[in-house]
Amino acid sequence: MPYRRLPNTDAARIRAMRIALKKGKELPPYKMAFSAKTIVRLQRFLPLFEHNIQLQRQAVISQYKKSKDFNEIGRKAKIYLTHFIRVMNMAVYRGDVPVETKAYYGLPTNESTVPSLNTDTELLSWGKRIIEGEEFRIRKGGSPITNPTIAVVKVRFENFVEEWNNHKILNKKTLDYTERVNEMRREADEIILQIWNEVETTHSILPEDIRKTESEDYGLVYFYRKHELDKTGKTEPQSAVAS
């Protein structure tokens, strides 16, 4: 007797449940190979499962598309902050502004390096420090750093902050949908297992060949072992492996 293989992809799970549900709608309860209680559970669950999978896929696609914009906006903010710091360092080197100027931005006065801006956290932290430091220095009567001015840097930085917040919201939405679908997969597997067990129990009194055919009508998927294939001369059904 071939062995059955439970679905292991969302497409295969949906296919199995759709076939069982179609049977449940076609046959009166007394002719059904699985219980009315199970079909009620299936009718309630399947639309929710399909809907949540669709929401998750849409969220992943949206996240992928938005990530390109987010990365580009972050790159521009990093460039403007880097250029501002370099220009300030050159002004210090020329003697146009005192070396103590660096302290307004939280930068060491004995170095001329640009701090690391490679992560979102670093970019957010240093962007805030540089902008607040320059604005405070100007209020204290200091000469503004130009090319770029802090106003231009601030626009780029605020664009990044806005996109970063949107990116976080989108990431959380995708994660929430993914966790929800993972939970629903477990329930889908429970329902399919229950249906298949009930179907096989109902058909257990039938001859083997008829039992297999009748069960497959309810969506059960069977595979022959190698030694069984050798005896029957059959090959594995390609359509049985859903993706």
Q: What is the pLDDT of residues 108-137, one digit of tens each?
A: 999 999 999 999 999 999 999 999 999 999
Q: What pTM was estimated for this model as a whole?
A: 0.74
Is the CB of residue 196 less than 8 Å from the CB of residue 6?
yes
Q: CA-to-CA distance for 16 and 219, rounded, in angstroms?
A: 5
Alpha-carbon Rg for the chain, nearest whole angstrom, is: 32
Instruction: Provide the pLDDT for residue 235.
Output: 54
Q: List CB contacts of 100: < 8 A, sequence separation 6 or more.
A: 109
Backbone phi, then psi, for 222, in 5-degree steps? Answer: -115, 150
Q: Residue 1's pLDDT band (boundaries 50, 70, 90)? A: low
In 9-133, where do the E strands start and end?
none
Please tell me the predicted confidence (pLDDT) of residue 239. Answer: 38
Of 18-27, 110-119, 179-188, 233-242, which range is least confident?
233-242
Beta bridge partners of 3: 223
